[in-house]
Chains A and B, each alone.
Chain A
């Protein structure tokens, strides 16, 4: 029909949604605690409490309140709407000092009125079914010298379902009304009406100008949806149509839902702006970079270099020519030194925990890496969340340091000879046997003849004595294979070092993931979840 009825009808579609939205907002509150401004959270909690109470107490009643400045004629209008003389009308200002409620129907909704803290209650027999379930409230003024009145209004304005603002030509442009109430309530345009009272004191033309001016002031505060009804109680002008609008609001049974829906939306929005639009994601590269940055604290570089050296020494010992190559002894394990010096450090205990290991420098390195990591992820988040991400990254710093130290001091497995080394070893043995046999043969003839034995028959091949055929190739091939082995061992050692490094980095990554990335990820999940829930609460 008119704009307001359509609005209300649209809102009624959300009735069943309300409970789930309230629930969503409740969950959000638990998630954002400590990350979002405390006053925002308190306000939202307040809204949720009110919404819970209101729906629990009486869902079918619609509470409509008359609010206005002193002397605008709230009480006269109240009397006119109820058809009774409940409210005292007087020239003494301020007149009404306590809120008063009138209920149509068979029974007073005592619980609801208790919750609203309204003492003066009246039950009216309803000859009009359309008025059933209406609770009409006459409020005190908000602009008089009596602060108590203002407090009552401020309290009730937050909890009633619909508001009728009663103004008159003298006071319609007061700052107390527009700045104090209408502007902050701009979200609730649909559940508010304005009764422009005392129309009889002005000419019709003047009155129209005033109403237009009021319209302008309302629109300036985004209250375009708020309707204005011109009333003059003395002549009953406008009172029936105002009552009609009230009845329609009651009949639609959505005023409460609309009001609460607005409350929830406003509350959810206040949290949404502190959540930001985007959720950062931790990607593999960031984890890898973090692991790389702290790897030296876990002794990765040091160990890798030592392992390469060990492979080189061992490989050269196996493949090299025995008379040339250095002997390899496991006892001179190059890792031993690294381990030994670090072991000593680990045994130290200090108040700050594993700071002893790698010293202050190591700790500083890890902290810097964590800061870079957290900062990159926190970029673009609201400040409360930025702080939360950074805290999460540093929360398990001590354990992280300890586990990095564990990696640094853990034993590396003894290396195993490679298959091709054995081929070299076999060749080496054959060559050595050849040389030894050849030499024996060479020496055998003079020795035999010395003791009177017949000399060995001089065997020559291609005019060269046979022993030389054994010694020379044996030496040449042996030395050459030794040199070749030396060459071939180098890439192997590099390769092995790389494999070892990868294993170590993998370990570092696992530690970093458990102690820094996962806590941060949990914080980011919290944001994502809050965003989803807030969207649900906003709908």
Chain B
């Protein structure tokens, strides 16, 4: 019952690991991605098959530095040349698995190391060569791995993968090598996951055996591998086949044979390494979970940067179309052309009755000028919107560019991330035109009291429309201080005109609608500009379910692994 629990938990973890994607280039992502990949391989190569088949032969992986003599050791252990050795480095490119002929069925299939094709003769990439050898006891297989520190990157990666799949590490080093940093990195990992390790010290000068082996034993003890078996092979001549004299490997052979022959000892070795691997996994997977979370946080912050820039643009445009700053320069000049100069000001001060005639006089025959006011507003609004949208794009670019993940996202784009979209100019002018059309439509759809009909006709729909636009730009934001001077005067004029036509309440309603219409259109445009950045991030979403699944699987593993008899290092099988 419990065993099933552990298996299903591991399967869940495996599925979640396989689904991991860390698309943002964060410092944590590389390490986490690498770890997830390696952990996935170890689950497939070792943990899952080993849990399923506890009686499978013990797999001893011989690993070590380039030139340490791995192939020579494997050949000597077997008693014949199964793996070619050479003075050139690196030598072992295709890993060789030596097994007893009776154990063939264990290794022939994809049960373990499914990523490597089985191949008994030829050497090519990503293969595992099988060599049957009757001299090897049943229940034990030896795998000759590539160099852990070779200049060939694939060799290094494969060696790491194979060592992760070992029930037993036979770690080979030499009197020259034993203090190298790279092997000790591997040994540290072995210690972390409590793997069963045997260290073989090769090529020890006869005079220094004691000193060197003592020193090495001390180093092992300091690094938590004190219980590891340590074998010494003195510097010696190889025989004609390049094999070590049998006497020198007898001790190792004896130890291995004993391990292979004793089911209980074998089980213990398996339980130790397997349990350690699972425990190490429980310790390391949370780092992946936190890397996943970091991705989400970083993605959200990139989104927020883009969103903030365009939010600001929206606020700025909304302010500037309401605080009177639109009523300057060209717009103001055309408006003045339209309404005339001093006379108009005097006119609006007079009674509404006489105003009608005056307005009629001033506006009659000037619908061309009303159109010009409209054009000036169109041009001004257009450039204002474009400028703010461009500035927002620049802000997004600068913010992303100073973020390592963001910089990666905008690198190599075929469009300039610091600029507005190619459609922006057309979209902005289309926006303004559509808004103006809407304003005119609103004006034409608003009921005009009978007594104002004549006034309305005199002004023309364009005249009323631009008056409304002017009123919107000045009115809705509420003017302050000096602004009232010009904009206020201008707006009061427009307001009087409009009120003369529609009445006070209707004018307020119209202005509100016109401003809302404009604001809505502008936020639509800015949203579509912003969406360019969002869509860049859409492809970089992290599946948030995976982090949860990983965490859940870990909890399940933690709960079940302590009760799982297969991982019990002590007794059970021994007592039996």
Q: Which residues of A contact B (CB under 8 A)?
A: 69-72, 91-94, 143-146, 150, 168-176, 178-179, 202, 206, 209-210, 213, 217, 296-297, 299, 302, 337-338, 341, 344-345, 347-350, 355-365, 367-368, 371
For the complex with contacts A176-B182, A213-B88, A341-B336, 7 further pairs of A-B residues with Cβ separation under 8 Å are A170-B177, A174-B151, A174-B182, A348-B482, A358-B328, A360-B325, A365-B383
Is A344's CB under 8 angstroms from B182's CB? no
Q: Is the pair B387, A341 in contact by a Cβ cutoff of 8 Å?
A: no
Q: How far is the CB of A346 from chain B (nearest CB, A)?
A: 10
How distant is the Cα of A220 from the Cα of B458 in the complex, in angstroms? Answer: 88
- CB within 8 Å of A: which B59-102 residues: 65-68, 87-90
Q: Which of B16-24, B161-169, B207-215, B530-538 contacts A (4 or more CB under 8 A)?
A: B207-215
A172: B residues at CB distance < 8 A: 89
Asked, given contacts A144-B180, A145-B181, A341-B336, whether A368 binds B386 with beta carbons under 8 Å apart, the answer is yes
Asked whether, in the complex, the Cβ of B211 is within 8 Å of the Cβ of A91, the reply is: yes
Residue of B with least CB distance to A205: B87
User: What would be 24 A-B contacts, judged by CB atoms less than 8 Å apart?
Assistant: A91-B208, A93-B179, A143-B180, A145-B219, A168-B176, A170-B66, A170-B89, A170-B176, A171-B67, A173-B66, A173-B89, A173-B151, A176-B149, A176-B181, A179-B151, A213-B89, A297-B329, A341-B336, A341-B486, A358-B328, A359-B331, A361-B325, A361-B330, A368-B390
Nearest CB to that of A168 among chain B residues?
Answer: B176
CA distance A502 to B208 in the complex (A): 97
Q: A91-B212, A145-B179 are in contact. Are A174 and B66 (CB under 8 A)?
A: yes
Closest A residue, CB atoms, query B216: A93
B-chain residues with CB within 8 Å of residue A357 when the two chains form the complex: 328-329
Q: Type the 1/0 row for B169-184, where 1 means its CB is closer than 8 Å to any CB of A.
A: 0000011111111101
Q: Is B177's CB under 8 angstroms from A175's CB?
A: no
CA distance A116 to B379 in the complex (A): 69
A206/B87 in contact, CB under 8 A: yes
- Give CA–CA (A367, B482) in the complex, Å: 25
> Which residues of A lie under 8 Å from residue B324 when comparing CB positions?
359
The interface residues of chain B lying within 8 Å CB-to-CB of A175 are 149-151, 153, 156, 182
Cβ of B486 and Cβ of A361 under 8 Å apart? no
The number of chain B residues touching the other chain, given as a range, is 35 or more
Residues of B within 8 A of A176 (CB): 149, 180-182
**Contact assessment for A71 and B176 in the assembled complex, using a CB-CB cutoff below 8 Å:** yes
Ranked nearest first, the 4 interchain pairs of A and B with the lowest CB-CB distance are A359-B328, A71-B176, A93-B179, A173-B89
The answer, among A92, A146, A344, A361, for a CB contact under 8 Å with B384, is: A361
Roughly how many angstroms separate A217 CA and B67 CA in the complex, as a whole number? 16
Closest-CB distance, B158 to chain A (whole angstroms): 14
Chain B residue nearest to A203 (CB atoms) is B87
Closest to A170 in B: B67
Please tell me if the beta carbons of A337 and B180 are within 8 angstroms of each other in the complex: no
Q: Which of B181-213 contact A (CB under 8 A)?
A: 181-182, 184, 205, 208, 211-212
Pair B175/A91 contact, Cβ less than 8 Å: yes
- Selected from B153, B174, B328, the residue in CB contact (under 8 A) with A170 is B174
Among A72, A209, A349, A356, the residue within 8 A (CB) of B328 is A356
Residues on the B chain within 8 Å of A347, using CB: 482, 485
A359 touches B325 (CB 8 A): yes
Docked-complex contact A144 and B179, CB < 8 angstroms: yes
Cross-interface CB contact of B150 among A168, A173, A358, cutoff 8 Å: A173
* A146 proximity list for chain B (CB < 8 A): 179
Q: Does B332 contact A (CB under 8 A)?
A: yes
* Known contacts A169-B67, A170-B176, A174-B151: A302-B486 contact under CB 8 Å: no
Say whether B177 contacts A71, CB under 8 Å. Answer: yes
A-chain residues with CB within 8 Å of residue B327 when the two chains form the complex: 359
Contact status of A368 and B387, CB under 8 A, knowing A91-B175, A358-B328 = yes
Of all chain A residues, which has the CB nearest B188? A145
> Which single residue of chain B is at the shortest CB-CB distance from A367?
B387
Instruction: Pick the contact of A361: B65, B219, B383, B390 (CB < 8 A).
Output: B383
Shortest B388–chain A CB gap in Å is 8
Chain A CB within 8 A of B228 CB: no
- Contact residues in A for B150 (Cβ distance below 8 Å): 173-175
B483 to A, closest residue via Cβ: A348
Q: Is B341 an interface residue (CB 8 A)?
A: yes
Contacts of B208 in A (CB 8 A): 91
Interchain CB contact under 8 A, A345 and B486: yes
A371 B182 Cβ-Cβ under 8 A: no
Complex Cα distance A347/B88, Å? 87
Docked-complex contact B184 and A93, CB < 8 angstroms: no
Closest CB-CB distance, A96 to chain B, in whole Å? 12
Least Cβ–Cβ distance between B400 and chain A, in angstroms: 13
Question: Is A361 touching B179 in the complex (CB atoms < 8 A)?
Answer: no
Interface assignment of B300: CB less than 8 Å from any CB of chain A: no
Complex-state Cα separation, A91 to B179, whole angstroms: 11
**Complex Cα gap A356–B151 (Å):** 68
Interface string of B2-31 (1 = CB under 8 A from A): 000000000000000000000000000000
Identity of the chain A residue whose Cβ is nearest the Cβ of B185 in the assembled complex = A145
**Max chain A Cβ within 10 angstroms of own Cβ: one of B333, B336, B483:** B333
CA distance A169 to B69 in the complex (A): 12
Residue of B nearest to A336 (CB): B341
Q: In the bound complex, how far is the Cα of B121 from the Cα of A189, in angstroms?
A: 42
Contact present for B329 and A361 (CB under 8 Å):
yes
Contact among B66, B68, B341 for A337, CB-based, below 8 A: B341
Q: Which of A170, A337, A356 has the most CB of B within 10 A?
A: A170
Residues of chain B within 8 A (CB-CB) of A92 are 211-212, 215
| Distance from A77 Cβ to chain B, minimum over Cβ atoms (Å) | 14
Complex Cα distance A253/B242, Å? 49
Report the bound CA distance from A94 to B219 in whole Å.
12
